[in-house]
Chain A
Amino acid sequence: MFGYYLDLALRSLRRNKMLTALMVLAIALGIGASMTTLTVLHVLSGDPLPGRSDHLYYAQIDPQDIKGMDSSKEPPEQVTLIDGLNLLHAGRADHQALMSGGSVPVQPEQSSLDPFYVEARYTTADFFGMFDAPFLYGHGWTAAEGEAKARDVVIAKSLNDKLFAGTNSVGRTLRMAGVSFRVVGVLDSWQPNPHFYDLNTGSYAYGEQVFVPLQTMVELRLDRGGSTDCWGNGGGGVGNILPSNDCVWLQFWVQLDSPAKAAAYREFLVHYSLDQKALGRFQRAPNVRLPNVMQWLDYNKVVPSDVRLQNGLAFGFLLVCLVNTVGLMLAKFMRRASELGVRRALGASRRALFAQLLIESGVVGLVGGVGGLVLAMFGLWLVRQRPSDYAALAHLDLSMLFVTFVLAVLATLLAGLLPAWRACQIAPALQLKSN
């Protein structure tokens, strides 16, 4: 029966090409627009480190003076250098890394290349293991090397390709900011999106080219970027002067492998705050936060509100397209009242008619879905042409491909439900009589 109904559906759709085209177009436009925006939303709100992000936590403590620089109750979003180093040396977590960002000038050996600036991450030894950064050659520096302010550097694959033609450059020298560094490791392509561990750099499509021990950066006074917040008599630091200890400018991440450990670490942060208060450094009552990666991203509202707005808009558009299709489908089915009446009179059950009409709307949905997919590809291509930082990430993945089709067919079946039901209510006798 399915084959026969399919044949009937195709015949019926062919009979009224204009109307069919109109329905397919409406579905395709609606699906295309909503899939484009849904894919962008999906990409932007994704988990940067699937499987690991549950165990990674961002430590926040409140070292501000009693006056308060902000009326909000939340502690500062970063830590001071002294607190960061204290927490790092305490080593209470399974792994921990203190970090900040900046940019450094690279002076290539090749005379054909002018000096150029690259984005840098100043961090500590556990960074690479904690965040699952894949090494192509070599490895990171050790904690002891970091403390010894070693002139070690880990470079990204793209910089290795540019400077060392993609060869194993471990052990070679890289001159940056007038200082010779030794390459100890080369990372394979690695760019977590969003750039969760430091959102001050811009949330998406940001990747560091060089990784330098934080202690080395502090000694050499390499350039700092990102955000610095001070209170009291704190000075943000300029040139050779680091931000004072009344300024937060670093991020501190910890890995805690079980919820019990996370609870214990939170306790530790409270105790740390109390100790610092007893020492007179902290003035406020302990105010600690320990969000995991997804909670941290949520708190920072990384997905741009424009993207959410566009998604809502696209689904509103899809709704209009669907109502449109329901109307057109209804018109089409009612127009065939006499044909349906004849089939009913010849013995077809309501159920059979209903199935036949639903198959017809399903075909429209399928064709509309294919059209929608093509339009979504085009839509995503348009998104990629935009200047926003996330633009380059807008690609359709397999799961979204599947969602598109299911959405298209479901939507059209849903749209076909009401007209098909209405058409089945026709009294066959009335249709036969009038002709």
Chain B
Amino acid sequence: MDILPILSTLRRHKLTAWLLILEIALTCAIVCNAVFLIGQRLQRMDMPSGVAEHELLQIQVADVTTPSNPYARLAEDVALLRQVPGVQSVASSNQVPFGVSSSNGNIRLDPAQPERTLSATTYFGENIPQTLGTRLVSGRDLQSDDFVDVETAMKGLSTGDSKSLPHVTLITQTLAERLWPGQNSLGRLIYLTPTVGLRVVGVLDSLARPNAYDPAKAQFTMVVPLRMGANKDQSYVIRTRSEDRANVLAAAVAALKKADPDRVVTTKRSFDEVRRKFFQDDRAMAGILTGVIVALLIVTALGIVGLASFWVAQRRRTIGVRRALGATRSNILHYFQAENFVLATFGIALGMALAFGINLFLMTHYELPRLPAVYFPVGALLLWVIGQLAVLGPALRAAAVPPVVATRSV
């Protein structure tokens, strides 16, 4: 197929041709970036939690009046929950991965250091690694004599009595690698306050923070042996078989209510729900972006159909003459297909530059990474295919123009 006649024809319809090129370019640029954004969101939604997600339940209960001994109350509740059929393990924790509400500490490696090294989340409570199902990579787990009552620790902190503070901690592999790259982290000290040095006794495979908004910091996690009392913000985390979750959750809530009908169950959910809720905006955004891509492609395709139809109608006589001079139907068909391909190619080339520009803007305003090169051919291919599909109908109509048209005057 000779490209020169196509170009010379387009030169006679400059304005229309440029409009079509511009439309394809804009669509291409937006689609490239939108597909990239969808990829980012899906990747975020896949963020690992490090826990046995399909086997966990979270319950929060709140007392109407503060119990006289919250530690005893919590121990009773945990013992009660362990009795519920189907329960494999029970933990009490101040927070859960992706649970939003979080406790965080500023880590210093040297107590005299002026600025913090980083901020890590701190899990407080008993049986956390075992119940949540995060693996110990090295060192040991927390033992019962490591634990300190949280109120004792608070008082110790304000009076400067370091004896009543916890002395050990578990950290994740990611945090260990970030603090001491390439070195053994066991036995090293982490300072959360000028007086509390926590010795790393164990390294966990993975445990995400409740406020995992930045994937790079999602695994900056410590588990500190503080014994928490029963309170509104403390969670009971239950491990069970995934098929038993609904029954166990109902039975566990019933058992807690039975022990004290006056308290309020504020949270009862599976960990699947925790994850779904945390990433709900990402899911919605991915859906919206998909909708916009589809709508854009439809509008562009319809625009191509409209313009191509117009051109075919305008050139009926010319087509008739070409047919009369010996052009076959497929010659005519290919002509219009090639014309669309040329326009699409121009549009795509312009669109790539535009896509790059939009990405630069997003990088500065929305802290997005650079658009990987792989998205460019994807966008190009998509628009070529859409263009060819859209032009097929009008091109077939053009091919059906009989040669006799050439001899008729309108």
Interface residues of A (CB under 8 A from B): 19, 22, 25-26, 29, 33, 67-71, 103, 105, 107, 114-117, 177-178, 221, 223, 231-241, 244, 304-306, 309-310, 313-314, 316-317, 319-321, 323-324, 326-328, 330-332, 334-335, 386-388, 418, 422, 435
Please tell me if the beta carbons of B264 and A114 are within 8 angstroms of each other in the complex: yes
**How many Å lie between the Cα of A223 and that of B66 in the bound state?**
10
B30 touching A327 by the CB < 8 A rule? no
Interface size class of B (residues with CB under 8 A): 35 or more
**CB-nearest residue of chain A to B30:** A316
Measured CA separation A336–B6 after assembly (Å): 24
List 13 additional A-B contacts (Cβ < 8 Å) besides A71-B115, A324-B23.
A25-B302, A69-B106, A105-B264, A235-B158, A239-B150, A309-B362, A309-B366, A310-B288, A316-B30, A320-B299, A327-B303, A331-B310, A388-B280
Q: How far is the CA of A178 from the CA of B34 in the complex (A)?
A: 54
Interchain CB contact (< 8 A) of B23 among A117, A237, A310, A320 = A320
Interface of chain B, main secondary structure: helix
> Among B12-20, B77-85, B242-250, which stretch is in contact with chain A?
B12-20
Q: Does B114 contact A (CB under 8 A)?
A: yes
Could you write out 18 A-B pairs with CB less than 8 Å apart? A22-B302, A26-B299, A29-B299, A117-B62, A117-B266, A221-B66, A233-B160, A233-B193, A233-B195, A238-B228, A240-B151, A241-B154, A304-B281, A306-B285, A320-B296, A320-B299, A328-B306, A332-B310
Contact B296 A317 (CB under 8 A): yes
Residues of A near B194 (CB, < 8 A) are: 232-233
Residue B232 is within 8 A (CB to CB) of chain A in the complex? yes
Inter-subunit contact B307/A331 (CB<8 Å): yes
B70 within 8 A of A: yes
| B345-367 with Cβ < 8 A to chain A | 362, 366
Closest B residue by C-beta to A237: B154
CB distance from B253 to the nearest CB of A (A): 13
Q: Determine how close the nearest CB of chain A comes to the CB of B395; give it in whole angstroms.
A: 16
Q: How far is the CA of A6 from the CA of B228 in the complex (A)?
A: 77
Using known A-B contacts A306-B281, A306-B285, determine if residue A241 contacts B151 with beta carbons closer than 8 Å: yes
- Given A67-B114, A316-B26, A317-B30, do A335 and B65 touch, yes or no (CB 8 Å)? no
Bound complex: CA A236 to CA B151 (Å): 11
Of residues 303 to 330 in B, which have CB atoms within 8 Å of A's CB atoms?
A: 303, 306-307, 310-311, 313-314
Task: List B contacts of A105 (CB < 8 A).
Answer: 62-64, 264
Whether the pair B34, A330 counts as a contact (CB closer than 8 A) is: no
Contact B103 A330 (CB under 8 A): no
Interface-centre pick from B155, B277, B296 (highest chain A CB count, 10 A): B296
For residue B385, CB closer than 8 A to chain A, the reply is: no
Q: What residues of chain B lie closer than 8 Å to A435, measured between beta carbons?
A: 410
- Are B281 and A327 neighbours in the complex by a CB distance under 8 Å? no
What's the Cα separation between A116 and B62 when bound, in Å? 9
Are A317 and B292 in contact (CB-based, < 8 A)? Answer: yes
Whether B229 is near chain A, meaning CB under 8 Å from some CB there, is yes
- Min distance, Cβ B198 to any Cβ of chain A, angstroms: 15
Chain B residues near A107 (CB-CB < 8 A) = 64
* Alpha-carbon distance A239/B66, docked complex (angstroms): 8
B342 at the interface (CB under 8 A from A): no
Are A305 and B366 in contact, CB atoms less than 8 angstroms apart? yes
